[in-house]
Chain A
Amino acid sequence: MITNTVSNENTAFKLPGINGMKLYSNDDEVDAVVIGTGAGGAPLLSRLARAGLKVIALEAGQHWNPSIDFATDEVSQSKLFWNDERLSAGSDPLAFGNNNSGTGVGGSTLHFTAYTPRPQADDFNLYDEFSVGVNWPIGYRELEYYFDELENFLGVSGPEHYPWGSPRQSSYPLPPLPLNAAAQLMQRGCKALDIKTSPAPNAALSAPYYKEGIGWRAACTNRGYCQAGCTTGAKASMDVTYIPLAIHYGAEIRPECFVTHFENDPSGKLTSVVYIKNGSGQRQKCRFVFLCAGAIESPRLLLINGLANSSGEVGKNFMAHTGMQVWGQFEQEVRPYKGIPGALISEDYHRPGEVDFAGGYLLQSIGVMPVTYASQVARGRGLWGEALTQCMRGYNHTAGINILGECLPYPGNYLGLSDEPDDRGLPKPIIYFSQGENEQRLTAHADKIMKTIWEKAGGSDIWSFDRNAHIIGTCRMGNDPRKAVVNKVGKSFDIPNLYIADNSIFPSALSVNPALTIMALSLYIADNFLAAT
């Protein structure tokens, strides 16, 4: 069955942990093909491999070796973003690429900031609390075990006593990462306003860390370029955590494979995954398919193939976290390129009480890389000429606060297929997104709070950049096959051997960064699958 293994001589693979990787042939009927290697695909892949299943992950992007391939340079690191064009429509058209979409083995975790707060129990029951949106078919209780496991496995650095949310079974395995200047300033401003803060949980190591199957990972050196890729392996992106673990347990990682189609038998069961590698079509036989390509490419692939959509819900319920950023200038040296960008958190506005909107948001301090900041100054303030160059001369004195907040689903916010073909001849996706009244009210509330925090911290020239971040929804999970695409264990209602495990299945946005929850869902889906088969 196993036709080959990767050897030292094969120069295509110089990656740690990849020597000895099992290789399957296209004609081997493997147990499962996992499409995508980000926060959705990678944890699940390692779980299936550990159970002894024959598994292959197909990844559209390359398998990088960060210490050799990554530079401290935003432009050259744009290779980590999903740069195939998507069309953004609606009254608040959404930026993709560097804003929220990754490619390469590790997916978007290659460029996430490592911010890993847990969702709170009430996040899963938005409808019960506010009569808007929907409840999840599962709750905090089903995922709590996985949050514990993940924080331990990834080596999340966090405070000894986290002040918000349900009581924890275990504390963070590592002490928090040091606070950079932006975090200290936010701490100062919040203290003056009696807003509680805490060092944030971040999936980057505050001390060297060892895990069986992976080995040692080095501690974070406070490079602030997390969003351009971590060169040291301190950040727990999938390429240095679950991917080597999956390889250790016998999974094959097949990079630069773009999935286009499926084959199925007369009963509708999928029998193989069809993909393009090096310009030619390939067909991998398999018994099960796990679609983990994210909230754009997962529904896009299903829509292109007319699959798993008896509910008509594929592509619907598209959400994007409210993510306004407020920038200020400070007399002191900030040097916003140093330290983990989101070092401080406050969840005091998780449920802000007497307000005119549903849900809530978290606050985080943020550092920023220079080109990202220049781009925001250009787009957000419209500055050009001397005004732009003078503003940018204040870069070293710039600190930011960011929210990450609820976003409701609306009928007008969805993903469809455009009539414009991409380079492969497949229709480019078009995404309609407009903030509703809830998002506008929540953002207005947060705008005032953040500006006041910066005023209290001594900031000047304070301005806000409204944006929406993480993409969520489009293949909703639920209990009713007429209203959801997958059931509460991620299984398609229509196709018995198709599972979806990524941010597309979130029924609501949750008022925290999604990565930790995506990974928890991934493990939860894998364990339920293994228990059932």
Chain B
Amino acid sequence: MRNDLYPAGIVKELLKTDLVAPNTKQVLNDRLTKDIVLIPHFFTKENFATLQAVCKRLVPQPPRQQPVDLAGLLEEDLFTGSGNGWRYASMPEDKQAIISGLTGIDDTAQDAFGTAFHLLETSHQDSILSSVQNGTAAGKSWALLPVKLFFEELLAKVAELYYSHPSVKEEIGDVSFADNKGWEKIGLDQMEAYEPKIIN
């Protein structure tokens, strides 16, 4: 696997130029300046703390001025979004599924280590998440929830929210949004002058 690095600030610089269409600029700037959620609107405090801790382990963020507020974005998407058009029939409705799953993760933590998930050290958090991913998580709260599917759904959602964030585009050198003039250099090893080059 690669571990490429791209120059800092590329995304914000491009957003100031007319290489980005006005409507795209607005969407990305809105996302960039969105307030972080300190107090959950819908989740219980306990579930939200679990979710924040889970997100930190699913997508460890490099040091940045303002980490992407994945838990806040996920809460907003879940409770005000329009959905994604489907769900596994074996899963409960989306909101219920995530509440049950987060409660399940916390119960598993309590059973195994006698403390809340978000207070555990990261290696223990990871071992619990692995047990959820491979379907072996123990605890009564998992009885009604297909454990592996819950993990897949949560992970996919978190990954989608993370990689749609302008701050993260920089992490992977994604300047796909700077397409207002289209692209001329599209072949192998061809790049426009304003496409960032790897620096390591």
Contact = CB atoms under 8 A, between A and B. Distances in A.
B84 interface: yes
B87 A85 contact: yes
B179 A393 contact: no
A75 B157 CA distance: 11
- The listed residue with most A CB atoms (<10 A of its CB), out of B5, B57, B82, B188, is B188
Nearest to B148: A382
A175 interface: no
A93 interface: yes
A212 interface: no
A393 B59 CA distance: 13
A257 B169 CA distance: 37
For the complex of A and B, 7 pairs with smallest distance between CB atoms:
A221-B182, A97-B85, A337-B176, A89-B89, A96-B86, A394-B2, A374-B163
Interface stretch (A49-57, A64-72, A259-267, A271-279): A64-72
A495 interface: no
A87 B89 contact: yes
Given A83-B82, A85-B86, A72 B177 contact: yes
Contacts of B188: 181, 184-185, 332-334
Given A371-B163, A388-B159, A393-B2, A87 B172 contact: no
Contacts of A382: 133, 152, 155
B183 A69 contact: no
Interface of B: 1-5, 20-21, 23-24, 26-28, 57-60, 62, 82-90, 126, 129, 133, 152, 155-156, 158-164, 169, 171-174, 176-177, 179, 181-191, 195
Given A70-B23, A384-B57, A370 B176 contact: yes
Contacts, number: 202
Interface stretch (A128-136, A223-231, A299-307, A516-524): A223-231
A101 B85 CA distance: 8
Nearest to B163: A374
Interface of A: 68-76, 78-79, 81-89, 93-98, 101, 178-181, 184-185, 220-225, 231-232, 329, 332-335, 337-339, 369-371, 373-375, 377-379, 382, 384-397, 418, 430, 461
A384 B24 CA distance: 29
A418 to B, nearest CB: 8
Nearest to B1: A390
Most buried by A among B1, B58, B177, B179: B1
Given A87-B86, A375-B160, A378-B159, A72 B176 contact: yes
Contact of A374 (B57, B126, B159): B159
Contacts of B21: 71-72, 231
Nearest to A79: B82
18 contacts: A71-B23, A71-B27, A71-B28, A75-B161, A86-B86, A88-B86, A93-B89, A95-B86, A181-B190, A221-B179, A384-B59, A385-B126, A388-B159, A394-B2, A394-B4, A395-B172, A397-B4, A461-B1
Given A97-B84, A333-B191, A390-B1, A430 B60 contact: no
Contact of B59 (A75, A76, A389, A394): A389
B23 A69 contact: yes
Contact of B160 (A75, A95, A180, A384): A75
Contacts of B160: 74-75, 371, 374-375, 378
Given A73-B177, A85-B87, A338 B1 contact: no
A378 B172 contact: no
A385 B172 contact: no
A95 B126 CA distance: 28
Nearest to B5: A393
Contact of B85 (A98, A221, A371, A375): A98
A103 B89 CA distance: 22
Given A89-B89, A369-B176, A384-B58, A374 B2 contact: no
Contacts of A388: 58-59, 159
Given A371-B163, A378-B155, A223 B126 contact: no
Nearest to A75: B164
Given A68-B23, A184-B188, A222-B182, A86 B85 contact: yes
A329 B60 contact: no
Contacts of A75: 160-161, 164
Given A89-B89, A370-B174, A391 B1 contact: yes
A88 to B, nearest CB: 5
